[in-house]
Amino acid sequence: MLDLALLLTHRLFAIPAAVPSTDRDVARLADRVVERLDRTAEAPPGPYVVSSFHWRLRERQRDRLSYAVRTLFTPRVAHYRRLPLPPALRWLHVPLKLPWDLVLTPAIGVARRVSRLAP
């Protein structure tokens, strides 16, 4: 992550890098960041999605797995708003988040699209 930050600082702001990175993966990640900055109209992926960019950003397998688990199982504000539970039962948001995101949310989206098509 530090190598990527230094390389982006060098590329975007022309600030000399103290130790230039020779890692090809870091160079590819920097290319993706710069490319995405040019495509400002494109919507970024949601915070609930394990993205390949964020996956590759982590160097150790342990960090990658931790990122994936946190992304998939940590409830967000939207989950608490959609399913308000009493304080004693808020722990249920953790096991319910994944089925909610993978089953219920897409099903609701399909139902809305189908209802718009119906005469």
Find how far residue 39's CA is from the centre of its chain.
Answer: 17
- What's the whole-model pTM score? 0.49
Nearest to 70, CA basis, from 48, 101, 87: 48
Label residue 48 by pLDDT band (50, 70, 90).
Answer: low
pLDDT, residue 45, reads 56
Q: What was the pLDDT predicted at 70?
A: 84
**Residue 119 pLDDT exceeds 90:** no
User: What range defines the domain where residue 97 resides?
Assistant: 2-117
Query: How many whole angstroms separate alpha carbon 43 and alpha carbon 45?
Result: 7
pLDDT at 89: 92
Q: Based on the number of CB atoms within 10 Å of its own CB, is 7 exposed (0-12), middle (13-18) or buried (19 or more)?
A: buried
Note the pLDDT tens digit of each residue in 56-84: 788 889 988 998 888 888 888 888 888 89
Q: How many domains does the chain have?
A: 1
